Amino acid sequence: MSLHISAKTGEIADFVLMPGDPLRAKWIADTFMKDVSCYNEVRGMLGFTGTYQGKKVSVQGSGMGIPSALIYGTELIREYGVKTIIRVGTAGALQGHLKLRDLVIALSASTTSGVNREYFGPGEYAPTADFNLLQRAVEAAKALGLTFEAGNILSTDAFYPPSEDAYTPWKEHGVLCVEMETAGLYSLAARHGIRALTILTISDSLVRGEHSSASDREKSFADMARLALHCR
């Protein structure tokens, strides 16, 4: 048992999917997993363990933003021996060719967050996905017939940007989309020697001003969750 997770030793798999929304964690468990048990309800941040295609997997809500994600990621690693974390979530497209419901696999994560300055001072660390896990996701996507983009994304601390042109430099450098957790997760994984990957669904286009409907979000989230589970 840790400060924010009430699971007992052995109740969490070494392979964890980590959506921000705890209700998405429940939805993944209910939709894809068998023999499911809930191991955490502390602060409403639900966590579940079950099996997928005969393999033990867990799914743990992390809340929104890098600080919250790092709380749950750190406790999963330090207290429960988790070796693989795959973040699954939504993102806003920064490139015009990305459409609603497109899948993005985050090769690396630029960031406006200052979280890594705690470790590197003025130095610039480049948070990057685990290559073998990335390769497994690419192979799984092809096997499942899912199209995707892979590349650099942006992790920001501000859900609402400070100005209309705040993302312009990132767009000009080919950054695919923006979300709020991956740079922290990739840095945490590197620090502890575990594997991490982020798989995202485009839910909004910051280029076209488009937004997904509730039904579209559910369908595309299913593709993303299925892809992440196939990385087990």
Pick from 87, 98, 180: nearest CA to 130: 87
Which residues does 130 contact at the CB level (< 8 Å), separation at least 6? Answer: 189, 195, 196, 197
Instruction: Write out the catalytic residue numbers.
Output: 204
Distance between CA 11 and CA 48 in Å, rounded? 9
CA 153 and chain centroid, separation: 12
> Looking at residue 7, what DSSP letter applies?
P
* Backbone phi, psi, residue 173, to 5°: -100, 15
Structure tokens at 194: 């575990």
